[in-house]
């Protein structure tokens, strides 16, 4: 079995964070691919054990102005058809939802989720998501649940937080990959967004990261095992 994971990122500074660290600890090699910078997505996943699409500041609706978004939306048929493990995180989850017929849009009151916020497992997701109480967010848009997808976890501001499509594809609105280094970088580079409605202060985010990140890391390690064997 191949031990390589395709990691689709959306900026030159993007990393796979804690997700990548845990996968490498499990013996997987990471192939970072950035279509926004001209990297080509593979026509098949024959050389990969799975694929992950990470977040980014752009919108899943930007396919008219950012051609790589259209390319990624179309490419999602590849992992879905191959029934290989696929994981979408934030923007990646929104693109997965949109490619399956869901709608991606801002909060009707223009509220953001930036920082750690509560997560509630649904009945369908209780076995997998009940250990999580708070997870990290940085987004202004959410998604509607695609037809035939199973809602696994919900939030207060943006209802749909995690879903599964088929047996192999998962979408997470939140960022389980967040590390302290990433938190420092994001809250520094995106400092102007911390004054927006729904954003937590930088100090509050660091306090919550110290409080909640060990629980997220333990959950993520288990989740990745389940995902890789889906």
**Which of 10, 139, 175, 209 is labelled catalytic?**
175
**Which of 10, 141, 177, 209 is labelled catalytic?**
177
Is 192 annotated as catalytic? no
Tokens of 128: 């997998």
Strand 169-172 relative to strand 160-165, pairing:
antiparallel
CA distance 60 to 66: 10
- Phi, psi torsion values for 206, nearest 5 degrees: -70, -40
**Which of 7, 10, 72, 90 is labelled catalytic?**
90
Strand 50-53 relative to strand 86-89, pairing:
parallel
Is 134 annotated as catalytic? no
Residues 6+ apart with CB under 8 A from 144: 97, 102, 103, 104, 160
Cα→Cα distances 103→98, 147, 167, 184, Å: 6, 11, 22, 31
Is 90 annotated as catalytic? yes
Active site residues: 90, 175, 177
């Amino acid at each position: 079995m191949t031990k390589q994971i395709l990691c689709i990122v959306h900026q030159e500074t993007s990393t796979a964070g804690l997700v990548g660290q845990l996968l490498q600890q499990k013996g997987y090699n990471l192939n970072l691919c950035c279509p926004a910078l001209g990297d080509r997505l593979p026509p098949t996943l024959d050389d990969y054990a799975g694929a992950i699409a990470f977040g980014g500041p752009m919108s899943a609706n930007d396919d008219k102005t950012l051609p790589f978004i259209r390319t990624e939306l179309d490419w999602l048929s590849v992992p879905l058809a191959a029934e290989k493990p696929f994981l979408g995180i934030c923007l990646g989850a929104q693109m997965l939802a949109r490619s399956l017929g869901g709608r991606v849009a801002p909060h009707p009151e223009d509220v953001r989720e930036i920082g750690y916020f509560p997560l509630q497992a649904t009945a369908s997701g209780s076995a997998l998501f009940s250990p999580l109480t708070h997870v990290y967010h940085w987004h202004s848009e959410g998604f509607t649940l695609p037809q035939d997808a199973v809602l696994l976890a919900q939030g207060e501001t943006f209802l749909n937080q995690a879903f599964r499509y088929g047996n192999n594809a998962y979408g997470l609105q939140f960022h389980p990959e967040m590390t302290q280094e990433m938190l420092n970088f994001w809250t520094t580079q995106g400092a102007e967004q911390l004054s927006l409605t729904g954003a937590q202060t930088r100090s509050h985010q660091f306090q919550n990261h110290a409080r909640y990140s060990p629980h997220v890391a333990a959950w993520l390690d288990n989740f990745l095992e389940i995902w890789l064997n889906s």
